[in-house]
Chain A
Amino acid sequence: MITEEIIKKIQQKKGDYPVFRSAIMSALHEIQNTEGWLSQESLYKVSGMLNIPPATVKGVATFYHMYRHVPMGRNIIQICTNVACMIMGAEKLVDLLKREFGIEAGGTTGDKRFSLVIMECIGACGTAPAMLVNDDFHDNLDEKRVMDILNGYK
């Protein structure tokens, strides 16, 4: 459901730009923040609100990697496997998640507790490996730390 509150926030964001359509990225973020993903219906809503053709909205929404186009789990594990994290053992952590929770990159656990997304550098190279769980940042990871941290997300 796209609530009145979201619509109000999107209307406000329009004021930041000389052209209304420029609020599209904010609009998509606002909807995704509450819905967890961007359904076809949501894209049509944005199209209507900002007066942008639906195909253009879809074009923008599919260009950026952090917009989601399928329903996600309650918690999104976004783990970096780029070079700095890779050489510090990120691949092992991806294997751990597969072993412990049975999730592959891009997948969601059967109980909808976790979705796993592979990230391209989250700017934590000095304290690698690192991940974001939802909006929470965690670094200096090892297998034990990952399991301890994930225990806190139900």
Chain B
Amino acid sequence: MQKFLLKNVDNPRSTDIREYRKSGGYKGLKKAVEMEPGKIVDEVKKSGLRGRGGAGFPTGMKWDFASRDPNFPKYLICNADEGEPGTFKDRHILERDPHLLIEGMVIAARALKVGRGYIYLRAEYPAAEVILDKAIDQAYKEGLLGENITGKGFKFDLSVHRGAGAYICGEETALIESIEGKRGQPRLKPPFPVNVGAWGKPTIVNNVETFSNLPLIIEIGPEEYSKIGNPDCPGPKLYCVSGFVEKPGVYELPMGTILRDIIYKHCGGIKGGGKLKAVIPGGISTPILPPDKIDCQMDFVNLPKAGSMLGSGAVMVFDESVCLVSVCMRAMQFFEHESCGKCTPCREGTGWLSNILERIENGMGRNGDIELLLEVASNISGKTFCPLGDGAAGMLLSFIKYFSDEFDHHIENRKCMVN
């Protein structure tokens, strides 16, 4: 398949604006500045683009809400707090094609009449910060940021806001709290950020990959764009594959590529000819799938039908050598560590689930522990302030649904069935 999002990443000088221009970069922006802002919003709506951060919310609809809000100033934020374990796609763009992101953000700023933008970058990517700062400087020098962009009289300033290690800041209202200089705890919705966001003003938050789709949509037009991938949620998609496959990495494929094909065709199958045991298709807060469920399309519509979610498109592949009790325990320890502490079901629930999973993993599980896990999880699901708790509970329930024999074996025999 022709590459759109990753077409520059193999060029060793891809971060330089001249190289980006050589490959057709900033053409989308050139076209966008000739268009009425409302027309750009319409094109994005027509394209069918859905947010690539995890929730899959239609980008055009989000933009429409924001552009209808009469309050100014408005703010534009790129969510580059890529914290979902298993995910490393945005880092690819941030470190290897920063101008693609900047171009996407300037197009969005033009469409939404925004004068100020921020890239909320996780502190775990120090190299990306240096690269982005340099790319932003270049864009200012070439009149692509700042006053009077491309001589068309519109203004947009952009800078990097560095996070400091908090998974929860990937949730957009927590991210906004963090940009304002507070503890990154989620806000109650509504009001939604498109109406009341950063510093109380309308704020549009989109993911790195979402912004990176915009130059393409403007350049080829929404009709052509929506021919790529699944008609229900079109476009190219970055899948990041890790774990026991021959060729892990970031793959750009049409949205809706079959999970089995990603693993066996594109990634060369299971490492060392091993046997597939399970797949997490969208990062560790999405439910795990057994091998007989991998013939589904990887998109926002079809994965839920198979019992999971697309999330960030982070495919984690486990072979028969992996103890899934230990994976489940480590994932829950992560959620416990990252719970922001604001609401009780998540703060307390993830801690208790971790404790119980740790004792099962360490051969000290008790009869009735599985039921106890299910009970605690049922007091988290649907009862938390933000989706972090739901993700933790959903992940656990899927492990028990498909792999309860492994948990039982740990409890009965006080040891693992794999090692």
Number of contacting residues on A, CB 8 A? 40
Complex contact B330–A29 (CB within 8 A): no
Complex contact B316–A125 (CB within 8 A): yes
Q: A23 — nearest CB in chain B belongs to which residue?
A: B181
* B318 touches which of A22, A25, A87, A123 (Cβ 8 Å): A87
What does the 1/0 interface line of A33-50 toward B look like (CB < 8 Å)?
A: 000000000000000000
What does the 1/0 interface line of B120-141 toward A look like (CB < 8 Å)?
A: 0011111100000000000000
- Segment among A76-84, A93-101, A107-115, A145-153 that sits at the interface with chain B: A76-84
Complex contact A26–B162 (CB within 8 A): yes
Complex contact B88–A87 (CB within 8 A): no
Complex contact A18–B199 (CB within 8 A): yes
- State whether A125 and B180 are in contact (beta carbons under 8 Å apart), knowing that A66-B164, A67-B164, A87-B327 are contacts in the complex: no
Complex contact B241–A126 (CB within 8 A): yes
**Cα-based distance from A63 to B122 in the complex (angstroms):** 14
Complex contact A123–B181 (CB within 8 A): no
- State whether A60 and B244 are in contact (beta carbons under 8 Å apart), knowing that A25-B163, A29-B162, A119-B124 are contacts in the complex: no
Q: B167 — nearest CB in chain A belongs to which residue?
A: A120
- The A-contacting residues of B in range 263-322, CB under 8 angstroms, are 284, 314, 316, 318, 322
Contacts between the two chains (Cβ within 8 Å), count? 134
* A59 touches which of B87, B161, B183 (Cβ 8 Å): B183
Complex contact B183–A63 (CB within 8 A): yes
Residues in A whose Cβ lies below 8 Å from that of B166? 63-65
- Segment among B24-32, B78-86, B226-234, B372-380 that sits at the interface with chain A: B78-86
Is there a chain B Cβ closer than 8 Å to A4's Cβ?
Answer: no
Is there a chain B Cβ closer than 8 Å to A128's Cβ?
Answer: yes
* A125 touches which of B88, B159, B179, B340 (Cβ 8 Å): B88
- Closest chain B CB from A119 CB (angstroms): 7
Q: A16-B161, A25-B163, A121-B84 are in contact. List 16 more A-B contacts (CB 8 A).
A: A18-B73, A24-B181, A29-B162, A60-B181, A63-B183, A67-B164, A83-B334, A87-B243, A88-B243, A119-B124, A120-B85, A120-B165, A121-B83, A123-B122, A125-B86, A128-B242
Q: Which residues of A contact B (CB under 8 A)?
A: 16-19, 21-26, 28-29, 52, 59-60, 63-67, 81-84, 86-88, 119-128, 132, 135, 137
Q: Which residues of B contact A (CB under 8 A)?
A: 73, 82-88, 90-91, 116, 118, 122-127, 159, 161-167, 178-184, 199, 240-244, 248-250, 284, 314, 316, 318, 322, 326-327, 330-331, 334, 337-338, 340
